[in-house]
């Protein structure tokens, strides 16, 4: 399952958002360090389900499918709030940062309203929210740098005597962040680094660390409390830092609780009211719904989907029966897996299970019913049967 790290300063609204998008109740309070240990839950991205192509209702093993839209699960890690100097051990320091080692994507949630101070306390005096973004991104970079640069001279001298490729040498340093050989090849091929590690300066190491964020562990900026700012404020933020997604965790939580308590039919913005809803509930929910419909703020499912799609992820459906698109129990399209654009049938086999990948024979395209080899490049919404010698 794809892992999303949710980071930010204390009181940015991470606990509120986490509770809304995972339906897990966590401590929520208007003071720093409400979260002192990481919360882990499941949220979803959305994609059109191919069920209508065979006129059968799908049976998701995980996630759900509503009106032909598949909700594909992703893991959310709510990391306790970062304070300045966390990379040097201040506050809970590296304990916070270590929680995102395995994250594939990092979301930097910040208070777009600027109504929290440097320490994360609520404040009536507005400050520039871009400062929060810069500080968090710098802490992440410094944390990665501290791990990569540790005992560098000793490491460089030893590896310079080795005949291994550069990506394998640097993997010994970068594997601690969940990187693999494929990731290292991408970084080395995209950037230029000295052939001899002993010639890497501190600036070179820093550039390498920046490349990890750029190519492998991308950070996306998501502005919370956006219901408290106007379009001009949003424009100013984007002009300074680039692409930003604007949400309201509080609104997300209200919608989630209304759905959970039986006031509306869905936790998405196309909800309808149930009989239980009275005028007061409808008034509040209508105001929220209109802000989403008018594009003033985005729903987090849509934000997450946009982020993951922008990185080239695709959805693939592995099946056992290529004719009926079912598993051995007869469930239609039971699994929806996220893979990267460029992945092939063999990558899918390994994604299902290592034994299936190692014993791969061939695959069958569920739409064309044609046999395909391990090098077949997967497409979004492909339905694939893997044939393997594994038991």
For the chain, domain boundaries: 1-38+79-311
pTM for the full model?
Answer: 0.82
pLDDT tens string, the chain, 391 residues long: the values are 899 999 888 778 888 999 888 866 544 444 444 444 567 889 999 999 999 999 999 999 999 998 899 999 999 988 876 555 544 555 444 555 667 777 889 999 999 998 776 666 666 677 788 888 888 888 888 888 988 999 999 999 999 999 999 999 999 999 888 888 989 999 999 999 999 999 999 999 999 999 999 998 899 999 999 999 999 999 999 999 999 999 999 999 999 999 989 999 888 788 899 988 889 889 999 999 999 888 889 999 899 999 999 999 999 999 999 999 999 999 999 999 999 989 999 999 999 999 999 999 999 999 999 999 999 999 999 999 999 987 5
Predicted pLDDT of residue 27: 44
CATH 3.30.1540.10 fits 1-38+79-311, yes or no: no
pLDDT at 123: 64
Euclidean distance between CA atoms 171 and 343, whole angstroms: 21
Quick one: pLDDT at residue 327? 95
Q: Is 382 exposed, middle or buried (0-12, 13-18, 19+ CB in 10 A)?
A: buried
Say if residues 251 and 288 touch (Cβ distance below 8 Å): yes
- pLDDT at position 96: 56
């Amino acid at each position: 399952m794809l892992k999303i790290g949710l980071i930010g300063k204390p009181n940015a609204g991470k606990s509120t958002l986490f509770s809304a998008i995972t339906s897990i109740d966590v401590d929520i309070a208007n003071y720093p360090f409400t979260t002192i240990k990481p919360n882990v839950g499941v949220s979803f991205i959305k994609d059109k389900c191919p069920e209508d192509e065979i006129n059968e209702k799908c049976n998701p093993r995980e996630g759900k499918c509503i009106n032909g839209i598949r909700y594909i699960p992703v893991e959310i890690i709510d990391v306790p709030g970062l304070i300045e100097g966390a990379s040097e051990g201040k506050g809970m320091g590296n304990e916070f940062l270590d929680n995102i080692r395995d994250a594939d994507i990092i979301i930097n949630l910040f208070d777009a309203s600027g109504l929290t101070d440097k320490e994360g306390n609520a404040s009536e005096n507005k400050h520039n929210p871009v400062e929060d973004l810069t500080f968090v991104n710098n802490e992440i970079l410094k944390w990665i740098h501290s791990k990569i640069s540790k005992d560098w001279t000793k490491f460089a001298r030893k590896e310079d005597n080795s005949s291994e490729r550069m990506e394998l040498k640097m993997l010994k340093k970068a594997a601690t962040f969940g990187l693999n050989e494929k990731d290292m090849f991408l970084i080395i091929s995209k950037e230029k680094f000295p052939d001899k590690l002993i010639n890497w300066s501190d600036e070179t190491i820093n550039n390498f660390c920046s490349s990890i964020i750029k190519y492998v562990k991308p950070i996306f900026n998501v502005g919370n409390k956006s219901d408290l700012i106007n379009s001009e404020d949003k424009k100013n933020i984007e002009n300074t830092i680039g692409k930003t997604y604007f949400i309201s965790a509080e609104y997300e939580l209200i919608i989630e609780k209304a759905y959970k308590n039986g006031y509306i039919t869905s936790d998405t913005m196309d909800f309808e009211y149930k009989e239980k809803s009275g005028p007061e509930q409808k008034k509040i929910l209508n105001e929220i719904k209109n802000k989403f419909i008018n594009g003033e703020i985005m729903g987090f499912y849509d934000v997450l989907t946009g982020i993951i799609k922008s990185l080239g992820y695709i959805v693939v459906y592995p099946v056992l029966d290529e004719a009926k698109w079912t598993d051995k129990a007869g469930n239609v399209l039971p699994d929806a897996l996220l893979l990267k654009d460029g992945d092939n049938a063999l990558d899918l086999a390994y994604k299902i299970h290592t034994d299936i990948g190692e014993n791969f024979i061939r695959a069958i395209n569920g739409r064309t019913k044609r046999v395909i080899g391990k090098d077949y490049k997967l497409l979004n919404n492909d339905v694939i049967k893997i044939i393997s010698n594994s038991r």
